[in-house]
Amino acid sequence: MTAHKLVFTNVLHRPVRACVSVLAISLEVVLILLVMGIAYGMIEDNADRQESLGADVIVRPANAPPLFFTTGSTIIPEAVAETLTRLDSVREVTPILFLAQLRGGWRTIYGIDLPSFEAVAGSLEFLEGRRFSGPEAREAIIDDRHARSNGLAVGDRFDLKGQSFQVVGIYRNGIGGRIYVPIRSLQTVTDKAGQASTFLAKLYDSGQLQAAMAQMRDLVPNINVTSMREWVSLLRNGRPPAYTTFITGVIGLAISIGSFACFLSMYTTIAERTREIGILKSLGARKGYIVNLVMMEILVLCLTGLLVGFLLTFLGVQILRVLHPAQILLIPPLWVVYTVLFVSVSGIIGGLYPALKAAASDPVKALSHE
């Protein structure tokens, strides 16, 4: 019997154990790809929506965090918008106040002055409903993805800091945030009267960007002035420490699951096959041959686990898209390659010790094993 036939016969001889190992390896694949797909999708979607705002410059408080654009943790007087519009190079400035909440998922509410916001970003494309009835109305307009994901329709209400807001309009997704309310209303419910989190500025001539940014810094002290192109690049490529730690933890957990599954499967298998290994060694099988048999069996389990994992990941993506339309999942092709490498590493880690243990076994003792 050839080594390949022996390997497949061994795998099929214990189908339950093989299935458990394959499922564990596929869980490793799903864990890595889905988590990366969600994380990468959130970053790319946020960057795309910020880029579509149409602004040339973003002005934030000097102490604003470098990446967390929409937490609302830092504020600046709303009157700064008026000051910036005095510059000859500035066509329009719109203030935005952010409120970040964790309500069954991360959501950020944008408090905006709709006329000046649309002067910078362009008119929102309404699919249903209307614009705000007034600057202090307890009303909200939401994008179609958020509406589908949360089962909201025009006329529905939701709670915001103990206040009831009515959905009066649904617009096509892709511009800025997913939930807009009048800035005066958000200032009232958050007790931040006359304050904003950031300003978006539109210039008459984007070719004069650097000169306009320098004028803004000279005109208003203690502000952070960034071009939209630079900001979007930072969103796409910058990674806060917490993000890196989280991804590293997920990958470490996934590799641990795969390694443990391979180790447990092969260790128990070798313990059961001690006599067979003794027979092979008595027939002249070298240590390398025994190690090769074990590692080939690990390879079969890993390849099968990869295929099942890719299939489960595809199904998981489709299910998440149906259940949570607002959640964007983008799996970078490079991470598919990384996943194959991680599964290979976990297989080697899990199977190497059992393989070496089998190769080092004494054939005389192995033959006497019951």
pLDDT, one tens digit per residue, over 256-269 is 877 777 777 666 66
Q: What's the predicted TM-score (pTM) here?
A: 0.75
Residue 353, both tokens: 């010790």
Alpha helices in 75-135 (DSSP H): 80-84, 114-121
Looking at the structure, tell me whether residues 72 and 208 fall in a common domain. Answer: yes
* Distance separating alpha carbons of residues 101 and 282, to the nearest angstrom: 68
The more confidently predicted of residues 297 and 181 is 181
For residue 179, the model assigns a pLDDT of 94
One DSSP character per residue, 188-235 reads HHTT-TTEESEEEEEES-GGGHHHHHHHHHHHSSSEEEEEHHHHHHHH
Cβ neighbours, 10 Å, residue 319: 10
126 DSSP β-pair partners: 171
**pLDDT digit string, tens, across residues 14-30:** 677 778 778 888 888 88
Average pLDDT over every residue of 33-49: 87
Looking at the structure, tell me whether residues 72 and 212 fall in a common domain. Answer: yes
Looking at the structure, tell me whether residues 258 and 352 fall in a common domain. Answer: yes
Burial class (CB in 10 A: 0-12, 13-18, 19+), 358: buried
**pLDDT digit string, tens, across residues 306-355:** 999 999 999 999 998 888 877 888 888 888 898 888 888 887 877 777 66
For residue 69, the model assigns a pLDDT of 47
Mean pLDDT for the chain? Answer: 82
* Distance separating alpha carbons of residues 153 and 164, to the nearest angstrom: 15
> Between 333-359 and 287-323, two packed helices, what is the crossing angle to 10 degrees?
150
Residue for token pair 């309404």: 126
Looking at the structure, tell me whether residues 322 and 360 fall in a common domain. Answer: yes
**Domain-located, residue 136:** yes
Looking at the structure, tell me whether residues 246 and 207 fall in a common domain. Answer: no
pLDDT band at residue 78, thresholds of 50, 70 and 90? very high
CB 65 within 8 A of CB 75: no
pLDDT band at residue 200, thresholds of 50, 70 and 90? very high
**Domain-located, residue 8:** yes
Looking at the structure, tell me whether residues 216 and 269 fall in a common domain. Answer: no
**Domain-located, residue 101:** yes
For residue 295, what are the domain limits?
Answer: 3-44+241-367
Angle at 72 between CA 71 and CA 75, to 5 degrees: 145
DSSP element (H, E) containing 10: helix 3-13
Looking at the structure, tell me whether residues 90 and 170 fall in a common domain. Answer: yes
For residue 369, the model assigns a pLDDT of 47
**pLDDT digit string, tens, across residues 141-179:** 999 999 998 889 999 999 988 899 999 999 999 888 899
For residue 361, the model assigns a pLDDT of 61
Query: Which residues lie below 8 Å from residue 170, measured CB to CB, with a gap of 6+?
Result: 126, 127, 128, 129, 141, 142, 143, 144, 147, 153, 154
